[in-house]
Structure 1
Amino acid sequence: MLLFSTCFCLGSFAQTYLVNGLVTDGSHHPLAGITVKLSKTNVYALSDSLGKFYFQLADGSYLIQVNAMGFHPLTSKIVVDGKAVQMVLKLQSHIRVLKEVTIKSTANEERMREESLNIEIIKADFIQRNLGGSLMNTLQRLPGIKTIGIGSGQSKPLIRGLGFNRVVVVDKGIKHEGQQWGADHGLEIDQFATEEVELIKGPASFAYGADAIGGAINIKAPVMPAPNSFGGDVNLIGKSNNGLFGTSVRLFQRKERLFFDGRFTYQNYGDYRVPTDILYVYDFAVGLHKNYLRNTAGGESGIHFNAGYVTEKFKTIFYLSNTYSKSGFFANAHGLEPRRVDTELHDASARDIMMPSQQVNHFKLINRSTLVTGNHHLELELGYQRNFRQEYNHYVNHGYMPAVYPATMNIPIDLEREFDKQVYSLMAKNQVKLGKHHLQVGLNGEIQDNLINGWSFLVPAFQQKSLGLYAYDKFKVNDKLLLHGALRYDLAQLNLFSYTDWFFSETASGSQEKLLRAANLSRNFNSLVWSVGMNYNAGLFELKANVGKSFRIPIAKELGANGVNYHYFSYEKGNPKLDPEQSYQADFSVAFKTEKWQARLSPFFNYFPNYIYLNPTSAHDYFYGAGNQVFEYAESEVMRYGGEAQVKYQFGKQWGSEVLVEYLYARQLSGDKKGYTLPFSPPASALFNLTYSPQKFLGNADTYFSLDYRITSAQNNIVPPERKTAGYNLFNFQAGMRLHIGQYPLSISAQVQNVFNTRYLNHTSFYRLISLPEQGRNVVLSVKIPFNFKHHP
């Protein structure tokens, strides 16, 4: 309107002529939305989508000015002399490196405040700062989270002392399914491909399914790239203890609605070192060459590719990943005879992988689609997984197995065990807000097929089908009080398939026959579980409470195991009559937060009418187990309670401190082990942290120096065949900075784990039964280099 009125006035007094202009950048691309102004006037024009602008001017000399963000200012002179004028304004880019601006979102804090469950949200910077040998090792710095360590590269999670099939790991909305029943089986998760993790302590069965009786680890899908972006990052990592080196490279691109995001990860490591040169494996002295734990080397690789289509109300994304690992088992702690290890051959190199060893490949394909329509938020997830695991070892005969492996066998002589699991998953849910109610209804379905192979038998092949339906309501009473309620109903069918020995055994009657180790078995299960809770948020004060019931169906190993577990020198037998495991729980949380103080106390109570556990007996098996002690799965009444405490204090802008405390008590109230605790019950511990973040260090680099001091008490409350574990003190140091090289931030993180090379035993370690100490001093260095390419819409 201003331009129109100005031109009208000019035209009233003099003849005017058209000035036809074009605005471009240095690469001759047209620029839209650029303001072009006549100097010393209020007359201006705005370039259109093709970069064109127009003026009507009388004869005369004029100065045209352009000031646009991201470009150098431009002044150009034109002369109108009785005819139309054409001109091109070419703007030169102006790059400015500005001080880093941190935008803090309160979405995660609000989620934690509004959930009745005990939730912790872990971001990518925490993972980068505390990188361990695996994602689970990284997370165990948090109170209530522990791992069952399996050497330098593998581990599995424990939440408040519960693990295996009692903890669900959810990856991008689909339950991650491997061979998680085995203490020696780690999780096939790439921590470099993880940006955000939700830790749910306590039963989360109503949302994630029956196996979440102990809690859930929810690995969130990566954030989509920004519109019209093209870039990536490079991660480099090295560790001193086991000579690990690795890299993870990411590349992404997005238009307005289409995007892709890919990552490749590779790591290679050697045998790791412990602070001792001799071990006693069941009273047999084992010397260690230069403190190396022979045959614990390995390697990992991962390929991840995400692609999707996104609009304002609809998006569909495909996630494809394949992770592969190959690693050795400690040679002197696997098999029936640790003295047969060829130490000269193993000690020749710290990086070779010899038998016993394992190879695991996990392929995963997921599609996740969401639709927002009206007041509804719909989600649908479909998943396919294949977990292919092979364990290799020298053939060792026991029981009636032939002394020489038959040449006619179609199973390779070094293939001890093989598991091939394929899983089809479905998740659908709808969220809707109705007044003060936030409703969610959903279902989870899953089909598992697990085949076995190898010359050794422990767990039969099986097929499992399950379906769960749930409804959840969050009712907002007022601005301070929220009430929660959930119901879930599950159906499951588990079919075990028979297995017969490939060799002849002598029966009690003196005849020779191939014995039936596992019979066909079909079991059906169903259960109704519930949960109610409340949140009270009053400014600086927060209170949570949740009570409920959950259940878990017995797994194939618990029902049908019948063989030697070479890692524990034990003979394990399942019980086909086991009932579904039931659990009643109560979780509480009290929090207080000010500008300088943060404090949270999270107690819990847990009661199992029929906890399923592996019970050692007085019997020994001579048919298959070479005289090893027999362990049988049984049920007992169990009570558990404990909690975590977190206190943070910020002294000022540069100094901060933190104290993390955890405690767990468990006791069996019935059965053969009445009065004892449960296996893998972690001892009480406390972590004290002091962090210094100088504001001016190497210019304006974002820098931190952090020291962790962990005190762990002795664990004298054990269940045989566990052994008591002495307490220990441990120091870990972290430092890091974020520098700017040109316009790109460079993140450098360093750790010194076990600073004083302390010799200590971790009570939840896989190798704790042979008194194997944890890794010695380990220096970890990681570098993250992001990059972006110029991209035009």
Structure 2
Amino acid sequence: MHKYIILFLCINILSFSAIGQSNCVLEGMVVDQNNQVLPGASLMLYPIKKGGVSDRNGKFEISDLPKDTYVIEISFIGYNTLVDTLIINKNTSYNAQLTVSNLSLSEVLITDNYAEQRKREEALSIEIVSDDDLKKNLGGSLMNSLERLPGVTTINIGSGQSKPVIRGLGFNRVVVVENNIKHEAQQWGSDHGLEIDQYAVDNIEVIKGPASLMYGSDAIGGVINMKNSKLPASDTFGGLVDLTGKSNNELLGTSVSLYGRKGKFFANARATYIDYGDYKVPVDSVDIYSYRAPLYKNHLRNTAGYEKNLHVSLGIAQDGFISKFYVSSVNSKSGFFANAHGLEPRNVDTDLHDKSNRDINYPYQKVNHFKLINTTQYEWKKLKFDLDLGFQRNFRQEWSQYVSHGYMPAVFPDTLAFHSDLEREFEKFVYSGNFKISYQLNEKTEMFFGVNSEFHDNQIDGRGFIIPAYEQFTLGGFALVRNNFSEKSSIQFGIRYDYGQIETTEYQDWFPSPVDENQPTNLQYLLRAENIDRNFSNLSWSLGYTYNAENWSFKANVGKSFRMPIAKELAANGVNYHRFSYEVGNADLSPEKSYQFDAGLEYQSKKLTVGISPFINYFSNYIYLNPTSEHDRLYGNGNQVYYYTESEVIRYGGEIHAYYDLLENIQLGLMGEYVYSEQLSGEKKGFTLPFSPPASAIFSAKYHKSKLGLIKDFYFSVDYRLTASQNEIVPPEKTTDGYQLIKLGLGGNIEMGKQKVNISMQVHNLLNTKYFNHTSFYRLINVPEPGRNFIINISIPFSGYF
């Protein structure tokens, strides 16, 4: 039924596409200081956020513009961004002349005016990262590439996968959005990464703090909003070839993209292939509880893997109307560290695993994430309509050799429907729909109204059990008003109502077990999970204020957010082999409710930028896994038992950043972060929360020159990361010593005739330091982070005209 609700919204909203009105046209030309044309310059008009790209002759045209006053922004790589004000009450001609830029502010943050404007108008702490900056900070995965941002950390799963943590909150408390649709996978598992192609991302917007108002209840900790497939210029075609190599795990990767636009029709395609071997750590053995596992040539055996990804997008763009279709398939296969799967590090066939560092043996996981998304935008007078529809299928299998535990039969029966070595299988179907209306009431006031809905159908299979099959439906609506008191200050207020329902399906073991120790012959198929039918609803709100003077900016936001518990928290009842735990859900959990205050203060001058972003956060009932003194004996593993519980929690902390132009081409930087958490009730009163990141800071120096020999936009950077020890833990977590790391970066553009080649090189962990990341997946068994890693990325763009 819920699918039909979304379909009904689609049919009704698309009916607006038949309405149209012709207004004014803005045309002109973009040149440099020598009056040479600049083809491919990007133009954007605010506040309507409508733009275009200059053609081969430097000319541009933006049509269907209502009569109004606009801010025009024109940017081109290597040139200073031009910002001007235009009064358009008829067809208008405008010519722009750009000047060569000398220095960009930061290695990570975009420094053009759009990014600055977006940061200044948003009451929450926000960072914007471009595709170029992602390549300059290329890590093992997309989320690793964001770790340089203060307040953002990761939970690493080997060298190829990771998941984001914002201000100490992760898993289902951080929403990942791709092309306006929430990315839905099996993100509840610490061993489950994000199935997203890092080459397919054009830019990323990171919102730190509760963003439930616009993105739904799971955004209680923040949002990672990713965009890809920019709109090509009219009558152009082109593409990009990316080549990547990494020394630590001998990674080889390539990604090829093609795009084209003819008239109002456009298309984009990308294919990616990545292959990597076992990654290396700066030790020759690891201590897994009481057993020391030797490592062959420092390789973490069976951590090799590969990715095969395909993306296609196509659409139509005409006056006031843009509609795009995105289809993607992300496929990966990756091994789990062989000595760390379950509690059998001694029984690993080292001869098999150490024969090659590129093979993938048991245990491993295979994942396919398929997406079909349509985004449609229509503008009519002062109204703007956005409709996003999405379908996703996340298919995950975990394979390992069958070994009987507890009362499982010694020989796997051939009468069962699943393979003996299929440990777990998850298949999730997700149907999503978003509808938003923006209305410009007057020059000072803008109003937003929206509805979001999702339906999840998750099925399970395999010999192992941890969560039951379930269905989940969510529906939320919001209203937001933003009013500009003056050119310097604005206030925004919004409310949201959410409704959610989750139904889990009962599950019985496929093998019988004795229910009474005194009567071992009395066998039953144990019921591991019962049918659960829970409904949740909540009212959220947010109030924000921003003030922007010439050199100073201030922002503050206070709000209430909520998150409904997920299937694992309500109904888990099984062994988590990756964390050496037996996890039990609680069907009576209440939804999380969070109250948070955020602030931001920044000073900018010609040479100096300094900012601070403090926050304080209160949970009336934070949900987490509580370790106990019990041990699971029934299934023969002896794993420690964890129960999902809720506790009153207070959290506070913040981020700081500073940049200073020491000389014309040299910039110094500082970025720091700190989070403190404390439980105010429950069994662990006085303790912190699990996976709490320690305080850390990055001291950076960067040399930049517009031209150095044959290299344009040359840069060389040094990062010195200082991370404090983490002694505030929740047993059985271990304390983690602090560490210091050095990272180098080098790159620029080389022009070979008319062909430009971008090269970026990095050295991670320059001194091959042995250190532990407190939030890492393998921290529990004393596996250090990867050793020294040389990374190179070569990007070769090409383009032409029809």
Same fold (TM over 0.5): yes
| Unaligned 5+ runs, structure 1 | 1-32, 34-68, 72-97
1:57 alignment partner in structure 2: none
Q: Distance in 2 between matches of 1:359 and 1:463?
A: 23
2:508 alignment partner in structure 1: 500
1:591 and 2:610 aligned: no
Q: Please report how far the alpha carbon of residue 366 of structure 1 lies from its aligned counterpart in structure 2 after TM superposition.
A: 0.3
User: Does the C-alpha gap of structure 1 residues 263 and 70 become closer, same or farther in structure 2, counting only changes over 3 Å?
Assistant: closer
Once the two structures are superposed, what CA deviation does each residue of 1:491-540 show, in whole Å capped at 9, x if it has no partner?
00000001011000001273211011001110000000000010011110
1:10 alignment partner in structure 2: none
1:680 to 658, 683, 691: 691
Q: Please report how far the alpha carbon of residue 339 of structure 1 lies from its aligned counterpart in structure 2 after TM superposition.
A: 1.1
1:468 alignment partner in structure 2: 476
1:124 and 2:131 aligned: yes
Q: Which has the larger radius of gyration?
A: 1
1:533 and 2:544 aligned: yes
For 1:740, what is the secondary structure of its paired residue? Answer: strand
1:272 alignment partner in structure 2: 279
Q: Distance in 2 between matches of 1:145 and 1:223?
A: 26
Kept after mapping to 2: 8 A contact 1:151/1:296: yes
Once the two structures are superposed, what CA deviation does each residue of 1:119-138 show, in whole Å capped at 9, x if it has no partner?
11111111010011111000
1:220 alignment partner in structure 2: 227
Q: Distance in 2 between matches of 1:341 and 1:482?
A: 62
User: Does the C-alpha gap of structure 1 residues 448 and 99 become closer, same or farther in structure 2, counting only changes over 3 Å?
Assistant: closer
1:261 and 2:268 aligned: yes
Kept after mapping to 2: 8 A contact 1:616/1:720: yes
1:742 alignment partner in structure 2: 753
Q: Distance in 2 between matches of 1:533 and 1:625?
A: 54
1:386 alignment partner in structure 2: 393
Kept after mapping to 2: 8 A contact 1:563/1:625: no
For 1:701, what is the secondary structure of its paired residue? Answer: strand
For 1:290, what is the secondary structure of its paired residue? Answer: helix
Paired residues for 1:112-191 under 5 Å:
112-191=119-198
2:457 to 449, 463, 469: 449
Kept after mapping to 1: 8 A contact 2:611/2:658: yes
Q: Distance in 2 between matches of 1:155 and 1:696?
A: 36
Q: Distance in 2 between matches of 1:233 and 1:150?
A: 29
1:328 alignment partner in structure 2: 335
Q: Distance in 2 between matches of 1:118 and 1:256?
A: 39
Q: For the aligned residues, what is the CA RMSD?
A: 1.5
User: Does the C-alpha gap of structure 1 residues 573 and 99 become closer, same or farther in structure 2, counting only changes over 3 Å?
Assistant: closer
Paired residues for 1:4-403 under 5 Å:
101=79, 103=81, 105-403=112-410
Q: Please report how far the alpha carbon of residue 625 of structure 1 lies from its aligned counterpart in structure 2 after TM superposition.
A: 5.0
For 2:297, what is the secondary structure of its paired residue? Answer: helix
Q: Distance in 2 between matches of 1:561 and 1:70?
A: 62
Question: What amino acid does structure 2 have at the position aligned with 1:271?
Answer: D
Once the two structures are superposed, what CA deviation does each residue of 1:533-569 show, in whole Å capped at 9, x if it has no partner?
1001111000000000000000000000000000111
Q: Distance in 1 between matches of 2:144 and 2:77?
A: 34
Once the two structures are superposed, what CA deviation does each residue of 1:584-625 show, in whole Å capped at 9, x if it has no partner?
000000000001111110000000010001001111221125
Q: Please report how far the alpha carbon of residue 641 of structure 1 lies from its aligned counterpart in structure 2 after TM superposition.
A: 0.3
Q: Distance in 2 between matches of 1:542 and 1:294?
A: 51
Q: Distance in 2 between matches of 1:99 and 1:774?
A: 36
For 2:780, what is the secondary structure of its paired residue? Answer: helix
For 2:570, what is the secondary structure of its paired residue? Answer: helix
For 1:223, what is the secondary structure of its paired residue? Answer: coil
1:546 to 541, 547, 557: 557
Kept after mapping to 1: 8 A contact 2:711/2:749: no
1:459 alignment partner in structure 2: 467
Q: Please report how far the alpha carbon of residue 312 of structure 1 lies from its aligned counterpart in structure 2 after TM superposition.
A: 2.1
Question: What amino acid does structure 1 have at the position aligned with 2:494?
Answer: A
Once the two structures are superposed, what CA deviation does each residue of 1:761-782 show, in whole Å capped at 9, x if it has no partner?
0001000011110000000011
Kept after mapping to 2: 8 A contact 1:702/1:739: no
Question: Percent sequence identity over matched residues?
Answer: 54
Q: Distance in 2 between matches of 1:650 and 1:764?
A: 34
Paired residues for 1:759-778 under 5 Å:
759-778=770-789
1:558 alignment partner in structure 2: 569
Q: Please report how far the alpha carbon of residue 699 of structure 1 lies from its aligned counterpart in structure 2 after TM superposition.
A: 3.5
Kept after mapping to 1: 8 A contact 2:213/2:478: yes
Once the two structures are superposed, what CA deviation does each residue of 1:67-114 show, in whole Å capped at 9, x if it has no partner?
xx989xxxxxxxxxxxxxxxxxxxxxxxxxx99545465222111101
User: Does the C-alpha gap of structure 1 residues 465 and 240 become closer, same or farther in structure 2, counting only changes over 3 Å?
Assistant: same
Q: Please report how far the alpha carbon of residue 411 of structure 1 lies from its aligned counterpart in structure 2 after TM superposition.
A: 1.0
Q: Distance in 2 between matches of 1:99 and 1:546?
A: 34
Kept after mapping to 1: 8 A contact 2:314/2:325: yes
Once the two structures are superposed, what CA deviation does each residue of 1:256-297 show, in whole Å capped at 9, x if it has no partner?
200001111110000000000011101111000000000000
Q: Please report how far the alpha carbon of residue 489 of structure 1 lies from its aligned counterpart in structure 2 after TM superposition.
A: 0.2
Q: Number of matched residues?
A: 698
Q: Please report how far the alpha carbon of residue 398 of structure 1 lies from its aligned counterpart in structure 2 after TM superposition.
A: 1.4
Q: Please report how far the alpha carbon of residue 337 of structure 1 lies from its aligned counterpart in structure 2 after TM superposition.
A: 1.6
Q: Distance in 2 between matches of 1:388 and 1:316?
A: 28
2:21 alignment partner in structure 1: none
1:781 to 780, 788, 792: 792
Q: Distance in 2 between matches of 1:538 and 1:784?
A: 39
Q: Distance in 2 between matches of 1:285 and 1:507?
A: 37
Q: Distance in 2 between matches of 1:616 and 1:548?
A: 31
For 2:143, what is the secondary structure of its paired residue? Answer: helix
Q: Please report how far the alpha carbon of residue 702 of structure 1 lies from its aligned counterpart in structure 2 after TM superposition.
A: 1.7
Question: What amino acid does structure 1 have at the position aligned with 2:451?
Answer: L
For 1:303, what is the secondary structure of its paired residue? Answer: strand
Q: Distance in 1 between matches of 2:582 and 2:711?
A: 61
For 1:161, what is the secondary structure of its paired residue? Answer: coil
Once the two structures are superposed, what CA deviation does each residue of 1:26-51 show, in whole Å capped at 9, x if it has no partner?
xxxxxxx9xxxxxxxxxxxxxxxxxx
1:628 to 639, 647, 650: 639
2:660 alignment partner in structure 1: 649
Q: Please report how far the alpha carbon of residue 402 of structure 1 lies from its aligned counterpart in structure 2 after TM superposition.
A: 1.0
For 1:138, what is the secondary structure of its paired residue? Answer: helix
Q: Distance in 2 between matches of 1:198 and 1:176?
A: 15
Once the two structures are superposed, what CA deviation does each residue of 1:377-404 show, in whole Å capped at 9, x if it has no partner?
1000100000000000111221211122
Q: Distance in 1 between matches of 2:395 and 2:206?
A: 27
Once the two structures are superposed, what CA deviation does each residue of 1:631-668 show, in whole Å capped at 9, x if it has no partner?
00001010000000000011233101110010010000
Once the two structures are superposed, what CA deviation does each residue of 1:217-249 show, in whole Å capped at 9, x if it has no partner?
000243111111011010000000000001000
Question: What amino acid does structure 2 have at the position aligned with 1:131?
Answer: L
Question: What amino acid does structure 1 have at the position aligned with 2:648?
Answer: E
